[in-house]
Amino acid sequence: MLHAFQISKDKINKEKIIKYDEQMESSVGKRLGYIFEKINIEKRHLKPLLNICTKGYNKLDPSRPKKGFYNKKWMIIENK
C-alpha cells in the first residue's frame, strides 16, 4: 500500500482523503498519517491526522501479527 501511495503521491487529493477519513474509524486516520509522512506529504496535511484520538496502538497492517516497532507519534505498530 505504501508503494502505491508513493507512485501516486502527486495525483492524490489529500484534502478529499482526509475528509473521507473523518467519517471512518480513528485507526484508519492514524495509518493514513503514517503513510503520508513516509511519502513526504506536506506537514499541513498531517496535522488533522495527528489530532485523531485512539485508544492504544493499532497495527499498520491489520492482517498481520501484532509484532514490530511501536510508533508513538502515530500510535501505530509497524508490523510490515
Cβ proximity of 5 and 17 under 8 Å: no
For residue 14, count other CB atoms closer than 10 A to its CB. 15
Residues 29-52: tens digit of each pLDDT: 899 899 999 999 889 889 888 888
Check residue 25 and give its pLDDT.
65
Residue 15 has a pLDDT of 81
Give the span between the Cα atoms of 67 and 50, in whole angstroms. Answer: 22
- For 1-26, write each residue's pLDDT tens digit: 677 777 887 888 888 877 776 766 67
Sign of CA dihedral 32, 37, 39, 40: positive
pTM above 0.85, yes or no: no
Containing domain of residue 69, as a range? 2-78
Q: Provide the domain count of the chain.
A: 1
Query: Is residue 74 within 8 Å of residue 30, measured between CB atoms?
Result: yes
